[in-house]
Amino acid sequence: MTNRLRLVMVGNGMAGVRTLEELLKIAPGLYDITVFGAEPHPNYNRILLSPVLAGEQTLDDIVLNDWGWYAGHGITLHAGCRVDEVNRTRRIVRGTDAAGRTVEAAYDRLILATGSAPFMLPVPGNQLPGVLAYRDIADTKAMIEAAAQYREAVVIGGGLLGLEAASGLMKRGMQVTVVHTGAWLLDRQLDATAGRMLQQSLQARGMRFRLQAQTQALLAGSGQPGAGAGAAAGGTPARVAAVRFATGEDLPAQLVVMAVGIRPRTALAERMRLHVDRGIVVTDTLQTVTDPRIYAVGECAAHRGIAYGLVAPLFEQGRVLANHLAEWGIGRYQGSRLSAKLKVTGIDLFSAGDFVGGPGTEEIMVNDPHGGVYKKLVVRDGRLVGACLFGDTVDGSWYFRLLQGGLPIEAFREQLMFSEGLAIDEPAPSSVPSPTPSFAPALTPADGH
């Protein structure tokens, strides 16, 4: 018999387990912990699925917390167990394991760390064999198997995840075309100049692109759109064979990967009658606004109207939540600044903050197309507010610190492009020769297109 409080967590991903790690550091004996995980794996680094797809790492390499970690900390892990119901009145979590057996756990405090689900375009044929999302180990294994059997792949989505998937499939020997609705790649993370330089770099490797292209349907082997259309010998549903665009053009593909965004997993929370709006709505202590015994962390949570999909904010949330669970009561989550990097070997890019700029901002820019280097910094009121880098990202972490801290830059403004070391060691700007970068007032969005 134990006097410990009972802590149950639904979800076994990076945000939730990081919360447990932080909690165990500061209050190791406070809770009896039970974890439900839908995947039949211990916690792994989802960020490193791209190197696994590319053949640069193995699945074993990306495990963050092996089975022994849970046992060593006295954590009961129900892996491969789907949670069906949470009774808030009785404070009982009920799930179903892989064998169909019911698993129950009572809680004093409950963490929902259900993550997010990939968004699948609502087009005919989106459930055909060979049409995948790119989200977890099962997806990655399916893509590796497809690459061993088929030649042509289409990745729908020219964002970070889509480009990482395309690069990995190319390294597996596939001919890959990226289909993107935007005018340039990574149009949420890069400006037009950096996006086009990225495209040129990837094209040089053999990647193909269809920009500003709308997918109308996915075609089965018979040439007909729709899930299950056409049948292979023996009655097996025909595999996807092509992507049809709104123009009527067909692009052959035996593998289609959709990387067009994610949606917070909120179905369980909705059944629990928790308040959901763009995610499970939480306070600055990550408590749900509906029930203070229940917390949400990670991609399923909506804080001040934002559901974060990058790992850094999720870890920041985890530290605050652990602080609160440990009953220290001093941590508050205030939101996060975001930065973007691409995990493709040999491609260096970084962006953060308001790199587009606008009225009242000033741009500091270096553009060397032949050298493959582009650097753009956006300044407002004597402070760095945005950065967009391609080809040379050495100072990305420095710029991000300046952004986060809101620090004045006037004392080293003319050294911003030339490294953090120079900014610290050089004399005041008045005695420094005129810099090479160009200084220009920012364009309004209308001027820039």
CB neighbours of residue 143 within 10 Å: 23
Looking at per-residue pLDDT, the higher value among 417 and 362 belongs to 362
Is residue 26 domain-shared with residue 102, that is, in the same domain?
A: yes
Contact predicate 385/378, CB 8 Å? yes
Q: Do 106 and 149 sit in the same domain of this protein?
A: no
Task: Give the model confidence (pLDDT) of 312-357 as tens digits.
Answer: 999 999 999 999 999 987 789 999 988 888 878 789 999 999 999 8
Residue 301 bridge partners (DSSP): 280
pTM of the entire predicted model: 0.88
| Enclosing domain of residue 225 | 131-258
Tokens encoding 55:
């053949």
Confidence tier at 414 by pLDDT (50, 70, 90): confident
What integer pLDDT is reported at residue 345 of this predicted model?
76
CB atoms within 10 A of CB 235: 6
CATH classification at residue 417? 3.30.390.30
The residue-averaged pLDDT of 274-279 equals 98
Contact 349, 198 (CB under 8 A): yes
**Do 237 and 275 fall within a single domain?**
no
Provide DSSP, 278-324. Answer: SSEEE-TTSBBSS-TTEEE-STTEEETTB---SHHHHHHHHHHHHHH
Give the residue among 265, 249, 331, 289 at the shortest CA–CA distance from 26: 331
pLDDT tier for residue 449 given thresholds of 50, 70 and 90: very low
State the pLDDT confidence band at 428, using cuts at 50, 70 and 90: very low
8 Å CB contact between 343 and 351? no
Q: Domain check: are 139 and 217 in the same one? A: yes
pLDDT for the residue 439: 33
CATH number at residue 306: 3.50.50.60
Tell me the H-state helices in 372-419.
396-405
Among 14-18, 31-35, 382-386, 433-437, whose mean pLDDT is lowest?
Answer: 433-437
pLDDT at 429: 37
Helices and strands: H and E segment counts in the chain: 10, 26
Report yes or no on 445 lying in a domain: no
pLDDT tens track for 149-193: 999 999 999 999 999 999 999 999 999 999 999 999 999 999 999
Return the ∠ at Cα 358 (arms to 354 and 362), rounded to 5°: 85
User: Is residue 49, in this structure, part of any structural domain at all?
Assistant: yes
Are 37 and 136 contained in the same domain?
no
Q: Within this chain, do residues 253 and 161 fall inside the same structural domain, yes or no? A: yes
- Predicted confidence band at 281 (pLDDT cuts at 50, 70, 90)? very high
The answer on pLDDT for 8 being more than 50 is yes
Last residue of a domain, one of 206, 231, 258: 258
What is the pLDDT confidence band of residue 417, given thresholds at 50, 70 and 90? Answer: confident
**What does the pLDDT read at residue 67?**
98
Same domain as 58, residue 11: yes
